[in-house]
């Protein structure tokens, strides 16, 4: 249920509404817009509907939410959310690029990657220290040593760090090193993990599950936000279809759909979305043209030697070209890369 306050409602009137709701154990979330405040109420719908909230001073109306998520919806918040990651803004008229290797493989490989992506103009360095691999025999990541290397790369370049957190146990250690926590596709419905990152204040990059509907994905974001962490950025990374030529089918219609139904920023990952380096540039351009707020791109100093996802990783030269093209399209879309 959503409670829309009148534009002229006073602080005291709002306080009285909040007290009434919390006194009976309901959870409340505030969205303070330019003209009015909206209160999202979480709890039993039928119970809330019976409360005489509409009779209270300052309240304009109570609106039942038609979808099962609330906080992520445009009904709850009309303005686009801008997520601030240590001064790098994601959303609105800002364009963000997160780039780097699939996995942190060694200090040399990571520092070299960081220099490449920094030089080309990206703001974030990506790279998995904990790798959720399909096969248990594949390279699993350098774990804490990988995190230390990421932190060193940040020291040297000023790039922000986004890296994956694969389980509840490692949220604390990854939060110590990273600027942004990545929830990978395979963990999108790990509700315990979602709740745990929701209790932190770290911005979260939530990748779409490989078989998740848009509704399931937004509900996953709702899990994080309902714990109090509103700094969520979505990432479309392709879904499983019958097509085998590409690794996944990059669903760019999801970008346009999310923009309609949610206020959260969304970026596109054409690397995992296609699985083929030669398709990454065209789909990155298309993603920005579809309205995405940025990109996540796998880049490796030497893709042929990569320990994971070399086939979809760009060379430094191709990444530099992609950055130039994406920036040009971003400008047309009213987005600037700073």
Which residues of the shown chain bind ligand PEP in the complex (CB under 6 A)? 102, 128, 164, 184-185, 207, 237, 272
Distance CA(161)–CA(151), nearest Å, equals: 8
Choose the contact partner of 301 out of ligand PEP, Mn ion, none; CB within 5 to 8 A by kind: none
Which residue lies nearer to ligand PEP by CB, 73 or 185? 185
List the one residue out of 265, 255, 200 whose CA is nearest residue 227.
200
Which residue lies nearer to ligand PEP by CB, 154 or 237? 237
- Give the footprint of Mn ion on this chain (CB under 5 A): 102, 309
Q: Compute the least distance from the CB of residue 300 to ligand PEP, in Å.
A: 12
Distance CA(292)–CA(53), nearest Å, equals: 38
Query: Strand runs (DSSP E) across the chain, as ranges?
Result: 2-5, 27-32, 37-42, 59-63, 83-85, 88-90, 96-100, 124-126, 160-164, 180-183, 204-207, 232-236, 266-268, 294-298
Q: Compute the least distance from the CB of residue 188 to ligand PEP, in Å.
A: 8
Helices (H), 181-334: 191-198, 214-226, 253-261, 270-274, 277-289, 316-332
What residues pair up with 39 in beta bridges, in sequence order?
A: 3, 30
Q: Compute the least distance from the CB of residue 245 to Mn ion, in Å.
A: 18
The residue sitting closest to ligand PEP, measured at its beta carbon, is 184
Which residue lies nearer to ligand PEP by CB, 154 or 272? 272
Choose the contact partner of 236 out of Mn ion, ligand PEP, none; CB within 5 to 8 A by kind: none
Q: Which two tokens stand for residue 77?
A: 């918040």
Choose the contact partner of 77 out of ligand PEP, Mn ion, none; CB within 5 to 8 A by kind: none
Which residue lies nearer to ligand PEP by CB, 165 or 225? 165
Q: Compute the least distance from the CB of residue 242 to ligand PEP, in Å.
A: 19
Distance CA(293)–CA(201), nearest Å, equals: 21
Choose the contact partner of 185 out of Mn ion, ligand PEP, none; CB within 5 to 8 A by kind: ligand PEP
Q: Compute the least distance from the CB of residue 172 to ligand PEP, in Å.
A: 20
Query: Strand runs (DSSP E) across 165-211, as ranges?
Result: 180-183, 204-207
Which residue lies nearer to ligand PEP by CB, 109 or 185? 185
Angle between helices 214-226 and 191-198 (to 10 degrees): 40
Q: Compute the least distance from the CB of residue 171 to ligand PEP, in Å.
A: 16
What residues pair up with 182 in beta bridges, in sequence order?
A: 164, 205
Which residue lies nearer to Mn ion by CB, 4 or 268? 268
Q: Compute the least distance from the CB of residue 279 to ligand PEP, in Å.
A: 16
For 336, residues 6+ apart whose C-beta sits below 8 A from its C-beta are 93, 94, 95, 330
Distance CA(237)–CA(258), nearest Å, equals: 14
Which residue lies nearer to ligand PEP by CB, 38 or 99? 99
Q: Compute the least distance from the CB of residue 156 to Mn ion, in Å.
A: 23
Choose the contact partner of 237 out of ligand PEP, Mn ion, none; CB within 5 to 8 A by kind: ligand PEP
List the one residue out of 197, 201, 204, 223 whose CA is nearest residue 212.
223
Which residue lies nearer to ligand PEP by CB, 128 or 203? 128
Choose the contact partner of 207 out of ligand PEP, Mn ion, none; CB within 5 to 8 A by kind: ligand PEP
């Amino acid at each position: 249920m959503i409670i829309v306050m009148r534009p002229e409602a006073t602080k005291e009137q709002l306080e009285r509404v909040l007290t009434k709701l919390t006194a009976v154990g309901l959870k409340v979330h505030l969205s303070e817009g330019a003209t009015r405040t909206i209160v999202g109420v979480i709890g039993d719908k039928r119970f809330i509907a019976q409360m005489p909230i509409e009779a209270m001073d300052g309240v304009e109306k109570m609106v039942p939410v038609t979808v099962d998520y609330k906080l992520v919806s445009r009904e709850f918040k009309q303005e686009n959310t801008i997520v601030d990651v240590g001064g790098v803004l994601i959303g609105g008229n800002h364009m963000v690029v997160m780039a780097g290797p699939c996995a942190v493989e060694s200090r040399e490989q990571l520092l070299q990657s960081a220099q490449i992506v920094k030089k080309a103009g990206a703001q974030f360095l990506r790279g998995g220290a904990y790798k959720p691999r399909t096969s248990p025999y594949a390279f699993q990541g350098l774990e804490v040593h990988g995190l230390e290397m990421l932190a060193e790369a940040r020291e040297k370049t000023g790039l922000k760090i986004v890296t994956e957190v694969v389980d509840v146990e490692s949220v604390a250690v990854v939060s110590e090193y990273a600027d942004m926590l990545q929830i990978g596709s395979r963990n999108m419905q790990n509700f315990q993990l979602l709740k745990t990152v929701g209790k932190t204040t770290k911005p979260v990059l939530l990748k779409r599950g490989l078989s998740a509907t848009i509704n399931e994905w937004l509900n996953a974001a709702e899990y994080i936000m309902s714990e109090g962490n509103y700094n969520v950025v979505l990432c479309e990374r392709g879904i499983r279809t019958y097509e085998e030529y590409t690794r996944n089918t990059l669903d760019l219609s999801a970008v346009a759909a999310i923009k309609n139904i949610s206020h959260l920023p969304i970026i596109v990952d054409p690397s995992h979305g296609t699985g083929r380096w030669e398709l990454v540039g065209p789909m990155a351009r298309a993603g920005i043209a579809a309205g995405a707020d940025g990109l996540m791109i796998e880049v490796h100093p030497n893709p042929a030697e990569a320990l994971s996802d070399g086939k979809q990783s760009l060379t430094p030269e191709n990444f530099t070209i992609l950055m130039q093209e994406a920036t040009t399209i971003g400008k047309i879309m009213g987005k600037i890369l700073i």
